Amino acid sequence: MINKFDELINERKEFQRISDNVSEVKILSEIVKMAKDIYGEMSNEYIYYLNELGGVSKYIGEYELGIKNLKKALSLIEIREGKRSIPYATSLLNLAEIYRFSGDLDNIEDIYLETLSIFDENKLEKEYVYAGLCNNIGLFYQNIGKIEKAIKYHEKSLEILLYMPDHLVELATTYNNLVMPYKEIGKIRQAYSNLDNALEIYEKTLGKEHSMYGAALNNKAILKFEEGEYRSALNISEIALEITKKSFGENSLNYKNLLSNVEYIRDIVKKSEKEISVEVTNDSKLIDKSREYTKKYILPKIKEKNEKLLSKITIALIGEGSEVIGYDDEYSKDHDYTFMPIIFLNDEDYEKYHKELEDILLSLPQEFLGIKHVNNNVVNERRGVKKIGDYLYRFIGKENANLTIEDYRKIPEHALFSLTSGEIFFAGNEELSSILSTLKYYPDVIRENKIATVCTRIAQSGQYNYLRLMKREDKIAASIAKNIFIENVIHLIYLLNFKYMPFYKWSARGLKDLPILGKEIEKRLFELIDNTTLDKHQMSNRIEEICYFLVEEIKKQGLSKEKGYFLINHAIAIQKNIDDEFLKLWTAFED
């Protein structure tokens, strides 16, 4: 019988390795019965496997089975070791988790907090089990909508696990658990950063077919969907769905919930693509024509010639050109104007397939909806089949998104704007999407440093020098000061909106699309430019009025608590509060 027991244990390990929870529950049910027969009802072995079966059952929706086994374990542990023991707390935690998974959230907060108090009594605050408990409590608070509490407990778990190299999977799980809470409070970049950490660890430790990798992919799909990238969200969620089906089975709540999400996204994609097809005409913007050309010609031809290429490519319209940001007009058509998108491949696949894809593009119509494809050096550099690394290098000087503070200082902001603007039409491979998500906006410390510097320039040029120069009747210098003021006010509006500022000729045009102060400031800047009716004192008053709006928003965003409206004082405060020891030492005049 012992040999048979050991065989079952080894079978269970294999099912754990491949993340087959359905088969694992079946094997554990046999193991529990055999453990009781071999070792007895009060044995460590029997209690241990009662807990294991209770814990795994929740993943496949077998809640009653799990609750039954955990309550049995609790009754035995109470007799053996008492209700304030660590084993009792561990089983109590497993029971709370089943209730949470089943959606029965009443009263389980008390169970979690009781477990926490037992762990505290036993001085486990720096132990792995404490990190696991904090993670579970965080998930519970997510379920009931207490997001700040959820973040508090997940971050506590992270603090512990960062110093435990033997628990990388648990560290990845904590990163993944923080994704949705950060999204809920508007910290999208932190959400993506945690998600990237989780996916990287899962891929290295568990592989890309494991259920935990699938759960992280599902979070990525949610982020993409909420950003309006529906096709990308669908591609990712369909991969996650297959992983979930294999891991938990079609009867599990995980699978059913994810299937419902996938079907909803499919409907959204079908509706949006149908609307695009109806609306795209000769008068449409070029980005719409490019999307339609991709859908009507490029994707069907690739599928016809070599369908396996679809999983290796990303098709997009990003980079330079007014058409990428929807600003193209009749004047744009006189140079470098084409509907042809970019087909991206990673370095390895580029060497294998770029010629085949180039031949496919050449076989397609070279005129579409009134636009002829242009073949010249500029267009060939911007469009066609490209290697991801080479394309990134053109904009940021590196072939990946691992940028340092020094890197961000060197890269022109309009280059980051161009690289992250436009639209991905098809993402069979998510590598480029992941890179662009990472580069979506500056890290907080870089943004805050730039805000401090721009505030200083606004104060110097507008609040201090403009009126003094006008009083001296140095109108040329006053005009320069006013222009510096306007340029930096525009820049600050982009920074306050968490948006890169485009190339100077588009920066003012983009103001009206920015929700934070965009239209309000645009209107007042026009008054500064059209100054035929304003004397120097009225102009100075308009400048101060603009600065009032800027300071109020800076305070609203928690960047400064300084009094008054002289922006240099706020710049100094912002610089001192930057959460980076290196940047904090700079003056507010440096970026």
Q: Quote the pLDDT of residue 248.
A: 82
* Domain identity same for 494 and 530: yes
**Contact present, 420 and 439 (Cβ < 8 Å):** yes
Distance, CA of 14 to CA of 100 (rounded, Å): 27
Span 50-63, mean pLDDT? Answer: 89
> Does 472 map to a domain?
yes
pLDDT band at 583 (very low <50, low <70, confident <90, very high): low
From residue 191, how far is each of 220, 222, 231 by CA, in Å? Answer: 9, 11, 20
Distance, CA of 530 to CA of 527 (rounded, Å): 5
**Contact present, 203 and 213 (Cβ < 8 Å):** yes
* Domain identity same for 302 and 332: yes
Long-range contacts of 72-75 (CB under 8 A, 24+ apart): 73/47
> Does 73 map to a domain?
no
> Does 14 map to a domain?
no
> Does 47 map to a domain?
no
Phi-psi region of 500 (alpha: psi -120 to 50; beta: other; left: phi over 0): beta
Q: Quote the pLDDT of residue 585.
A: 63
**Contact present, 177 and 139 (Cβ < 8 Å):** yes
**What sign for the dihedral angle of Cα 292, 293, 294, 299?**
positive
User: Which residues are 427's β-sheet partners?
Assistant: 314
CA torsion 539-545-550-552 (nearest 10°) is 170
Number of domains in the chain: 2
Q: Quote the pLDDT of residue 481.
A: 93
Cβ neighbours of 541 (radius 10 Å): 13
* Domain identity same for 515 and 376: no
Q: Quote the pLDDT of residue 250.
A: 83
> Does 159 map to a domain?
no
Interval 74-115: pLDDT, tens: 899 999 999 899 889 888 888 888 888 888 888 788 888 899
Q: Quote the pLDDT of residue 333.
A: 60
Distance, CA of 172 to CA of 213 (rounded, Å): 10
Pairing of strands 384-387, 423-427: unpaired
Q: What strands lie across the sheet with 342-345, from one edge to the other?
A: 384-387, 342-345, 314-317, 423-427
Backbone angles phi, psi at 83, to 5 degrees: -85, -5
| % the chain with pLDDT above 70 | 94
**Contact present, 325 and 422 (Cβ < 8 Å):** yes
> Does 316 map to a domain?
yes
* Domain identity same for 489 and 555: yes
* Domain identity same for 432 and 555: no
Q: Which two tokens mark 306?
A: 């070599």
Please name which of 483, 501, 455 lies closest in space to residue 539, comparing C-alpha atoms: 483
Decide which of 330 and 98 is more confident: 98
- End position of a domain, from candidates 414, 436, 458: 436
pLDDT band at 177 (very low <50, low <70, confident <90, very high): very high
Pairing of strands 314-317, 423-427: antiparallel
User: How many residues are listed for the chain in this entry?
Assistant: 591
- The pLDDT of residue 584 is above 60: no
The beta-strand segments (E) located in 78-170 are none
Q: Quote the pLDDT of residue 486.
A: 95
* Domain identity same for 489 and 516: yes
- The pLDDT of residue 487 is above 90: yes
Span 279-308, mean pLDDT? Answer: 86
Q: Which residues contact 263 (CB under 8 A, 6 or more apart)?
A: none
> Does 106 map to a domain?
no
* Domain identity same for 573 and 458: yes
> Does 204 map to a domain?
no
What share of residues in the chain are helix, strand, coil (percent, to 5)? 70, 5, 25
* Residue with the two structure tokens 């060497």: 351
- End position of a domain, from candidates 388, 411, 436: 436
* Domain identity same for 421 and 299: yes
The helix or strand, by DSSP H or E, that contains position 541, with its residue range, turns out to be helix 536-556
> Could you tell me the pTM of the whole model?
0.62
* Residue with the two structure tokens 């509706």: 271
* Domain identity same for 289 and 428: yes
Distance, CA of 65 to CA of 25 (rounded, Å): 10
Helix residue ranges per DSSP H, 40-105? 44-57, 63-81, 86-102
Distance, CA of 253 to CA of 260 (rounded, Å): 11
The beta-strand segments (E) located in 268-322 are 314-317
Q: Quote the pLDDT of residue 591.
A: 59
Backbone angles phi, psi at 427, to 5 degrees: -130, 80
Q: Quote the pLDDT of residue 449.
A: 92
* Domain identity same for 499 and 397: no
Q: Quote the pLDDT of residue 335.
A: 65
Interval 230-276: pLDDT, tens: 877 887 888 888 888 888 888 877 788 888 888 898 888 877 666 55
Our measurement of the distance from residue 37's CA atom to the centroid of its chain's CA atoms, rounded to an integer in Å, reads: 51
The range of the structural domain enclosing residue 297 comes to 281-436
CA atoms within 13 A on the CB side of 402: 4
* Residue with the two structure tokens 């037992």: 118
- The pLDDT of residue 432 is above 70: yes
Across the chain, mean pLDDT equals 87
Please name which of 242, 222, 241 lies closest in space to residue 233, comparing C-alpha atoms: 222
Interval 497-547: pLDDT, tens: 999 999 999 899 999 999 999 999 999 998 888 767 778 888 888 999 999
Distance, CA of 217 to CA of 243 (rounded, Å): 10
Burial 2-12 (b: 16+ CB within 10 A, else e): eeebeebeebb
Span 429-457, mean pLDDT? Answer: 91
* Domain identity same for 367 and 474: no
Span 113-120, mean pLDDT? Answer: 90
Q: Which two tokens mark 123?
A: 């001085």
Helix residue ranges per DSSP H, 167-229? 168-177, 179-184, 188-205, 211-226
* Domain identity same for 411 and 513: no
Across 157-161, 212-216, 478-482, 489-493, the highest mean pLDDT is recorded for: 489-493
Cβ neighbours of 75 (radius 10 Å): 11
- End position of a domain, from candidates 375, 407, 436: 436
